Structure 1
Amino acid sequence: MLRIVLCLCVIALAGCGTTTKITNAWVAPDLKEKNLKGVLVIAVTERQDARINFEDAYTAALKDQGIHAVASHTLVNGTARKTSKDKIIAAAKQAGLDTLLLSHYAGTLEQPVYHPGTDYYSVIPAYGSNYGYGRFGGYYGQIVKVGSTAGIWTSSKQVMLVSDLYETATEEPLWQATSETIDPSNRIKLRDSVIQSFVGQMEKQGLIKK
């Protein structure tokens, strides 16, 4: 099933760890009892280029896990948002794909973040009548503030995407996960980080079997 136990078949950030986390995930209790094979990967977006890029990357990540996955743009023309549900389901059935993996943008949350200022200090030797030469006390000094930076306000963006798995024949939901990516640096890293997290969650919940 995604080898889904079905063998269902529904990328790490370059140079650093993923910035995405899964905030919510659900799986149908009877999923492991279903003998599902093959998944049609669908990205719901107004932009055809974005659809192709996301579907191809998601499909490749699933294939790396041994899953039989097909990008919907190879079977259905136009953007998924403007394509009828019946047309997509018909394409999946004709291709022998028992599940539909649909992903879409769920919004961006922007929150203010306060970064406190920093004070800088230095130690000035404190020699004098109270600090005898050669005595331990002579090594202590006075700590004085020599500078500081002011606190500033910035904003933190959290981009959310949702991925849903449905059974093609019944249209029943089988799995859902919501991802949250904090301050993504670019679209490609956002895409790859999200997909990596979704695939990791599938494996964690037993949809993908090694």
Structure 2
Amino acid sequence: MKNITRLLLLMLLCACSTPTQVTNFWKTNEPVNKTYHTVFVAALVNSVNAKASIENNVAAAAEAKGLKAIKSGDIFPPNFTREKAPSREAMLQKLRELGCDAIYTVTLVKKESESRYVPGSGPYAPYPRFGWYGSFWGYYNYWSPMMYNPGYYTTDKTYYMETNLYDAETEALLFSVQSATFNPAGVDDFSRSYTKAIVHELTTQGLLK
């Protein structure tokens, strides 16, 4: 079942222009009787470069939709430890001072790596397209070296992210999105792909215009 799930996920990702696929979406049923203007963006990942890249892309997307975005890396040290992290009261007080009315978090919840073998191969087209099909030696001389063409192993990587939006005043969860990114080329490629997929999902759900 796990292999089938991964195969379906791979097919979905390869069919899209972006390697990020939204896998689950939830939003509150409670009525939200307010309009949000300023969002605090916090990427909860253990890489400073990844944190900056994700927050920059999300903030740019938010601002393109008419929101003001404040990145956590600009306000709190990006490398603080659990012991040095600000208290709940201190963080919420700072967000109030900044005028934030929403809090956007994105977290890497799981990373999977799986190796697979890619066999050596050559192009195939049946007779009569290629003349070497017409004689034994032509056929043998073409295909025999292919049998010794070494394949190789490659490692597929899938990153599972969770995105949440909270009301800054009540701390109530407004929506939650789970997504998977398959084999990103790098940190910037990942953050752009992730942001594009989330913006598309929120637009589809009617939460962004």
1:156 aligns with 2:174: no
Partner residue of 1:25? Answer: 25
Separation in 1, partners of 2:60, 2:69: 8
Partner residue of 1:187? Answer: 187
TM-score (norm: length of structure 2)? 0.71
The farther-off stretch of 113-122 and 190-199 is: 113-122
What aligned pairs does 1:115-130 form with structure 2 within 5 A after superposition? Answer: 115-118=118-121, 122-124=130-132
Separation in 1, partners of 2:46, 2:106: 13
Instruction: Look up the SS of the partner of 1:118 in the other structure.
Output: coil
> How many percent of aligned residue pairs carry the same amino acid?
22
What aligned pairs does 1:1-210 form with structure 2 within 5 A after superposition? Answer: 17-30=17-30, 33-37=32-36, 38-79=38-79, 82-118=85-121, 122-124=130-132, 144-145=139-140, 146-147=142-143, 148=146, 149=149, 151-209=151-209
Separation in 2, partners of 1:52, 1:151: 38
- Contact residue 53 and residue 188 of structure 2 kept, 8 A: no
Aligned residue-pair number: 179
The farther-off stretch of 151-160 and 168-177 is: 151-160
- Structure 1 runs, 4 residues or longer, greater than 6 Å off: none
The root-mean-square deviation of aligned C-alpha atoms, in Å, is 2.9
Deviations 1:114-142 (A, max 9, x none): 4344356653486xxxxxxxxxxxxxx77
TM-score (norm: length of structure 1)? 0.71
Comparing both structures, which one devotes a greater share of its residues to strand? 1
Give 1:45 deviation, angstroms.
Answer: 3.2
Q: Any gaps of 5 or more consecutive residues in structure 2?
A: 1-16, 125-129
